[in-house]
Amino acid sequence: MLKVIVGVSLTAVLTALLGGLLAPWVKGKIDRRREELDASVKLVDVLADGLWAYWKMALRVAYYGRHGERGTEGYLLALQVWDGDDAWDIGAEIQKYVSRSKRLLPEESQRRLDQAQREVVDFLDLRIDKLRQTGTPADWKQLYEELMGAKRSAIDAILTDVTRDLKLGRKAQKT
């Protein structure tokens, strides 16, 4: 009978210890992972929204710039939008989330993201600034083609890499 009482008491003590210690620990781990997942998803969403919006604004400038005199009205309007507060805000938002990515991405992944951001956003800033001073319709056409080709692919690659590095999505979960 003493063995049964000791066995039951030991079981009760172990259950209480495990329930009192293990359950909160497991819940804490699950909660932290959920917060990390939410932050990762937000990072990718904000980067995608910002990079594609920035790309589209640059595309609009190049689109009208390549039409020369015939596109002057659209070109001037596109440049006004490009120079506007919304464009500055989008650029700042992209940079802010690239900085925040340091908490979520491994160091090498974050370095690649930072470099890729510069190759898109800084490239567009510098290129449009230069072309608005001396660009010909042929120069704007070349930028338009770069945006529709290489820069479009670069943005896709940035977002794909970040999604993979954060282990989001079906493909990332399989690897």
Tell me: the pLDDT tens digits for 68-84? 999 999 999 999 999 99
pLDDT tens, position by position, 28-44: 666 677 777 777 888 88
CA distances from 116 to 15, 111, 157 (A): 52, 9, 9
* Average pLDDT of span 139-167: 93
Both tokens assigned to 155: 């943005």
What is the arithmetic mean of pLDDT over 42-52? 90
Range 156-172 average pLDDT: 81
- Residue % of the chain over a pLDDT of 90: 47
Q: Find the DSSP H helices in the chain.
A: 2-17, 23-65, 72-83, 85-100, 107-117, 123-134, 137-146, 152-165, 169-174
Inter-residue contact 117 to 94 (CB < 8 Å): yes
CATH assignment of 37-167, given 1.10.3470, 3.90.25, 1.20.120, 1.10.150? Answer: 1.20.120
151 has pLDDT over 90 = yes
| Residue 111 scores a pLDDT above 80 | yes
